Amino acid sequence: MTTDTTKTRFAPSPSGFLHLGNTRTALFSALFARKNHGVFLLRIEDTDQERSQSQYIQAIDDDMHWLGLTWQEGPGAGGLHAPYLQSQRSAVYCNYFNALEQQGLAYLCFCSERELDLSRKTQIASGQPPRYAGTCARLNSEEVALRLQKGAQSGVRPTLRFRVPAQRVVEFDDAVRGPQRFNSDDVGDFVIRRGDGTPAFFFSNAIDDALMEVTHVLRGEDHLTNTPRQIMLLDALRLPVPRYGHISMIVGADGAPLSKRHGSRSIRELRQTGYLPDAITNYMARLGHYYQNNGFMDLDVLAAEFDMSNLGRAPAHYDTTHLLHWQREALMRADTNTLWQWMGADVHALVPIEQHTAFVAVVRTNIMFPEHALLWARTLYVDPVALSPDACKAVEDAGNAFFEHALAALDQYGNDYKALVNHIKQETGAKGKALFHPLRAALTGELDGPEMAQLVALLTVERMRSRLHMCWQACAPMEQSPAT
């Protein structure tokens, strides 16, 4: 691989299911790599052993594949820089900890949480920004040895802090937010290795981005303040610095960070509800990123038209109605077999084998989720069909004679909807709603839905006959039903 190959990465921590925020980061990273014929890398940030769970690594893998966000380097895909689970890279980090320590660029810190907390409070009280006061920065080797010995007895292990260079201006050109400038004096010496020996996430991420030849790091803007620290670390270790881009946050209608309260759900939950992957990718790609093209796009087109300079700096507003719009678009385009599978086992159990294709074609414009497909399957194939109050009203308004004519027409024309309607129209003089509503009401229980001619083509004549009888009984039980 040449060094000018674009390489992006997604570095989720397996502490839960993917949510819209981090999946959008993955999507933008995948699209940018694909647009540039580069590599999209997946790396699992599982260094925090308490929070990481292997079931979530599997879930990330599944959900990314389901969305079509496949990676060319990472777990399962292999690559020159394996392993891609950070929990398996301790030896790599250890080398860099040692290098920094040997050069005096990092030092052991013995301060307890209580001491640090107290120091922070004192700084805040005196109007200073809270940062590490440097208590352990000046310990000599005897003092360090003594404290290590004491720590070994009491079981307390020191952290390792990076010695932030004084009066350094850290500048970088953020791919989304433009030129950024930080003063190193505003950043206290920070922990790069926790007491338990595991690396701070921004340390391992910076090291791995450099070693894995990542060229572009796209991530949430909540990581912006980690960037100067990572740049200082990489500079100290003479490792290459990637181009960083910090994506705006997703917020709800009230401007607060997106949460369950705003209807936001994990990718897993969206998937279980029945959202199609194309709906989610089409929506997310536009969440904080502007496309001139308002139409539905597959991942290749989303990638071709992706433009880093179209990533907005303002927070992106999550709106379920937009997601539903893309769901409708995705449903219109999905192929028959995909939709049939998507409808699920309950639908499969009801629809006769020879009607699979027709059923999908008839209902696809009237459904959003599999549960709706199930309602139509019940409507078509399960008796008795329940009539809504509006449907009953239409039946009552039509009167007994209407259904007598309908039954006569049925005997003559079977489930040829057009012929049925023409016959009833001729015999009763009914037209418009007075003609169409009672028929639809009696045969489907509702006043709206998919095209009647197509629905009726899926009904047997026997079922139609029984429904034309039953509707009258169900809605006007005291009156006489039409003669058989």
Closest separation between CB of residue 417 and ligand GLU, Å? 55
Using CB under 6 A, which of 223, 265, 317, 356 touches ligand GLU?
223
Question: What binding mask, one character per residue, do residues 191-210 give for ligand GLU by CB under 6 A, x or -?
Answer: --------------x-----
Could you tell me which stretch among 11-19, 360-368, 399-407, 419-427 binds ligand GLU (CB under 6 A)? 11-19
Closest distance between ligand GLU and the C-beta of residue 44, in Å? 9
Quote the least distance from Cβ 205 to ligand GLU, whole Å: 4
161 binds ligand GLU (CB under 6 A): no
Question: CB 334 → ligand GLU: shortest distance, Å?
Answer: 30
Shortest Cβ 14–ligand GLU spacing (Å): 9
Considering only the stretches 5-13, 119-127, 258-266, 271-279, report the one whose residues sit in contact with ligand GLU under the rule CB under 6 A.
5-13
327 binds ligand GLU (CB under 6 A): no
Provide the angle, in degrees to the nearest 10, between the axes of the packed helices 201-211 and 226-236. 50
222 versus 383: smaller Cβ distance to ligand GLU: 222
What's the residue count for the chain?
Answer: 484
| Residue 431 backbone zone (phi > 0: left; psi -120 to 50: alpha; other: beta) | beta
- Comparing CB distances to ligand GLU, the nearer of 17 and 417 is 17
Instruction: Name the segment binding ligand GLU (CB under 6 A); options: 184-192, 219-227, 405-413, 451-459.
Output: 219-227
As a whole number of angstroms, the distance between CA 27 and CA 166 comes to 38
Sheet bearing 39-42, strands edge to edge: 39-42, 7-10, 216-220, 243-247
Provide Rg for the chain, Cα atoms: 32
Q: Residue holding tokens 């109050």?
A: 389
Q: Which residue is nearest to ligand GLU (CB)?
A: 219
Residue 226 corresponds to which tokens in the numbers above? 């980690």
- Binding residue for ligand GLU, selected from 34, 43, 193, 219, defined by CB under 6 A: 219
Each residue of 332-364: b (16+ CB within 10 Å) or e?
A: eebeeebbbebbeeebeebbeeebbebbbebbb
- Total interface residues for ligand GLU by CB under 6 A: 9
Strand-pair category, 216-220 with 243-247: parallel
Instruction: State which amino acid sits at residue 447.
Output: L
Considering the complex, what minimum distance in angstroms separates the CB of residue 220 from ligand GLU? Answer: 6
Residues 107-136 that bind ligand GLU (CB under 6 A): none
C-beta closer to ligand GLU: residue 227 or 327: 227
Using the contact rule CB under 6 A, the part of the chain among 9-17, 69-77, 147-155, 274-282 near ligand GLU is: 9-17
Q: Which stretch binds ligand GLU (CB under 6 A): 6-14, 112-120, 192-200, 424-432?
A: 6-14
Neighbouring-strand partners of residue 471: none
- Nearest residue (CB) to ligand GLU, 17 versus 376: 17
Query: Which is closer to ligand GLU, CB of 25 or CB of 327?
Result: 25
Cross-sheet strand order for the sheet of 190-193? 106-109, 159-162, 190-193
Q: How far is CA 81 from the centre of its chain?
A: 27
Query: Who's near 434: CB < 8 A, 6+ residues apart?
Result: 397, 398
CB closer to ligand GLU out of 170 and 442: 170
Closest approach of Cβ 45 to ligand GLU, in Å? 4
Q: Judged by CB under 6 A, does residue 393 bind ligand GLU? A: no
- The least CB distance from residue 22 to ligand GLU, in Å, is 5
Smallest separation (angstroms) from ligand GLU to the CB of 12: 5
| Alpha helix segments (H runs only) across 155-196 | none
Q: Which is nearer to ligand GLU, 21 or 274 (CB)?
A: 21
Long-range contacts of 100-106 (CB under 8 A, 24+ apart): 100/160, 100/162, 100/192, 100/236, 100/237, 101/160, 103/236, 104/163, 105/162, 105/163, 105/236, 106/160, 106/161, 106/162, 106/163, 106/192
Q: What is the DSSP string of 304-330?
A: HT--GGGB-SSPEEP-HHHHHHHHHHH
Q: Is 168 helix (H, G, I), strand (E, B) or coil?
A: coil
Q: Closer CB to ligand GLU, residue 45 or residue 213?
A: 45
Q: How far apart are CB 261 and ligand GLU at their closest, in Å?
A: 21
How far apart are CB 219 and ligand GLU at their closest, in Å? Answer: 4
The only residue of 7, 8, 20, 22 in contact with ligand GLU, by rule CB under 6 A? 22
45 binds ligand GLU (CB under 6 A): yes
Q: Among residues 7, 8, 13, 299, which is the contact residue for ligand GLU, using CB under 6 A?
A: 13
| Euclidean distance between CA atoms 374 and 347, whole angstroms | 5
Torsion angle of C-alpha atoms 143, 149, 152, 154, degrees rounded to 10: -80
Residue 47 in the binding site for ligand GLU (CB under 6 A): no
5 backbone dihedrals φ, ψ, rounded to 5°: -70, 130
Residue numbers of the site for ligand GLU (CB under 6 A)? 11-13, 22, 45, 205, 219-220, 223
